[in-house]
Structure 1
Amino acid sequence: MVKVYTIASGKGGTGKTTVSVNLGTMLAQLGKETCLMDADIGMANVGLILGMQDVPVTLHEVLAGTAVVSDATYSGPAGLKVIPSGISLQGFQQADPEKIRDVMGELVKKFEFLLIDAPAGISRDGVVPLAVADEVILVVNPELSSIVDALKTKILTEVVGGHVLGCIINRVDQEKTDVITKKMEKVLGVPVIGIIPEDSNTRRASSAKVPIVIKYPSSPASLAIKRIAADLAGVEMAEEKASPAAKEGFVDRFTRVLFKRKEKQ
């Protein structure tokens, strides 16, 4: 029986899409028939992260009624099936987010896991993914603004009849995990199902358009994602030791500074 998870966050910039891509890839690596659908039809990023930004048919065309879902389904890393949204504004204007229900009706017949990368924030486009999933997983950073917005998303999910399974805390200082976990569970009122540490390899993998669980499988972030995926899949995994992060070179420093400047703009 298929399990549908919507991956959501209260605000942009939490690393939600990166978590979605890597979690889906890891589930596929575990031998689970998995599909990742980018339901952020306004600010699509799944295709960009995986180098699929130029595919001919996307979820936009499916939601506009000009294509069927099989035409917009592509093979991704480790056998993960990916349904990217388009990046054109015209395609966004023509897409009807209400038709996501119909798309899901087709997908649940074919997969064991369906992950939906939801739009960040509270919007009309984001309500449907929160309502139709079996369970919602919140991706949150250990920052006040991210936590407050995640709480709003949790409340909205409950209002529309959805259920929040728990939260994944992303980009965490590894020395403060216990304190952060207790505070997050107290504020959000949901369990922490995983903690992904700050990992410089995440940026390197993203630049290469390869999921970190494939490019750097023994890195701290990869091992954290593997544990979360194993728990969702009901698979027991042997404990692995994280490899030390690679030393940051000039290109990595330049990319990091560039990203920080863009985030401030």
Structure 2
Amino acid sequence: MTARVYTIASGKGGTGKTTATLNLGTALAMLGKKTMVLDADIGMANLGLLIGLEKSKITLHEVLSGSASINEAIYEGPAGLRVIPSGLSLRGFQNSDPDRLKEVMASAIDGIEFLLIDAPAGISKDGVIPLAVADKVILVVNPELSSMADALKTKALTEMLGRSVEGIILNRAELEKTEINSNKVSELLGAKLLEIIPEDANIRRSAAFKTPIVIRAPKSPAAIAFSRLAAQMAGTKFQENNSKEEKESFVDRLARSIFGGK
């Protein structure tokens, strides 16, 4: 079995990249796919915070410093998802060697179908390595000019490294309050728009309960969008069991408002 390795990147911080990584990974695990998520943001390390792993004694920090093996840093997350968190201490960050990430990753993915890497924001060395080790890169952007500009830089860097962008997740989209016309996202970034994740208060509520939205609120608009994208990545048909009254979801209405149609 050969793992499919995706790095989830953004360019600027605050786009919802970590939330997207966790929920996509969980949704893939819920489909029966052997999935692992790895927090390569060794400086900020937010992934573990979202599912209560912030107090883990052994993390990617210890593995990258050579003081622990990768198997010691793998934890079981929701729906059987395997999680490799990074640590929160500055000392652990200072001792970590990002150049070891490829070696570590190769040891971790035996028997895994999907590996999703949560990359740090920016184009520093710590951010370049996760792009270089991926099979494909998925960009998470907000409908804002600054987000688009930074994502374009990340895309150019990805291509300089000999990798390609699989597509774009337009996150935190709203029917109004956007700085940029959403139907221009694909054109501006020169990549396929994979999914639109609407602004959804359930995201914050789920984070407060340290549970992915696809588990805590599976019928919410954002959860439906994440689950639909996971099904697309897994090559399976997405099944949404809605009542007749709920047949048209907010996501469908949002997509229609952006792309037109009746």
Tell me if TM exceeds 0.5. yes
Deviation at 1:175, TM superposition (A): 6.7
SS in 1 for 2:169: strand
Spell out the pairing of 1:1-265 with structure 2 (5 A cutoff). Answer: 1-174=2-175, 180-241=181-242
CA contact (8 A) 2:61 2:92 kept: yes
State the one-letter code of the partner of 1:168: I
Deviation at 1:110, TM superposition (A): 2.3
**Residue 17 and residue 216 in structure 1: after superposition, are their counterparts in 2 closer, same or farther (change >3 A)?**
same
**Separation (CA, whole Å) in 2 of partners of 1:180 and 1:130:** 28
Instruction: Give the corresponding residue for 2:258.
Output: none
Give CA deviations for 1:43-74 in whole Å, capped at 9, x if unaligned: 11001111100011000000000100000000
CA contact (8 A) 2:44 2:88 kept: yes
Query: What percent of counterpart residues are identical?
Result: 58
State the one-letter code of the partner of 1:173: E
CA contact (8 A) 1:223 1:240 kept: no
Deviation at 1:168, TM superposition (A): 0.1
Deviation at 1:239, TM superposition (A): 3.4
CA contact (8 A) 1:59 1:69 kept: yes
**Residue 31 and residue 151 in structure 1: after superposition, are their counterparts in 2 closer, same or farther (change >3 A)?**
same
Deviation at 1:103, TM superposition (A): 1.0
The unaligned stretches of length 5 or more in structure 2 are: 251-262
Deviation at 1:240, TM superposition (A): 4.2
State the one-letter code of the partner of 1:124: K
Structure 1-normalised TM-score?
0.88
**Separation (CA, whole Å) in 1 of partners of 2:229 and 2:176:** 20
Instruction: Give the corresponding residue for 1:255.
Output: none
CA contact (8 A) 1:41 1:85 kept: yes
State the one-letter code of the partner of 1:189: G
Deviation at 1:11, TM superposition (A): 0.6
The unaligned stretches of length 5 or more in structure 1 are: 246-265
State the one-letter code of the partner of 1:199: D
Deviation at 1:106, TM superposition (A): 1.0
Give CA deviations for 1:64-96 in whole Å, capped at 9, x if unaligned: 001000000000000000000000000000000
Deviation at 1:237, TM superposition (A): 1.5
CA contact (8 A) 1:60 1:94 kept: yes
Give the root-mean-square deviation of aligned CA atoms. Answer: 1.8
SS in 1 for 2:18: helix
Give CA deviations for 1:212-237 in whole Å, capped at 9, x if unaligned: 00000000000000010000000102
Give CA deviations for 1:16-64 in whole Å, capped at 9, x if unaligned: 0001000000000000000000000011100111110001100000000
CA contact (8 A) 1:24 1:35 kept: yes
SS in 1 for 2:48: helix
SS in 1 for 2:93: helix
**Residue 141 and residue 150 in structure 1: after superposition, are their counterparts in 2 closer, same or farther (change >3 A)?**
same
Deviation at 1:181, TM superposition (A): 4.4
Give CA deviations for 1:97-155 in whole Å, capped at 9, x if unaligned: 01000111112322000000000111100111101100000000000000100000000
SS in 2 for 1:157: helix
Structure 2-normalised TM-score?
0.89
Q: How many residues align?
A: 244
Deviation at 1:238, TM superposition (A): 2.0
Give CA deviations for 1:132-189 in whole Å, capped at 9, x if unaligned: 1000000000000001000000001111111110110001114799x94431111100
CA contact (8 A) 2:71 2:108 kept: no
State the one-letter code of the partner of 2:141: V
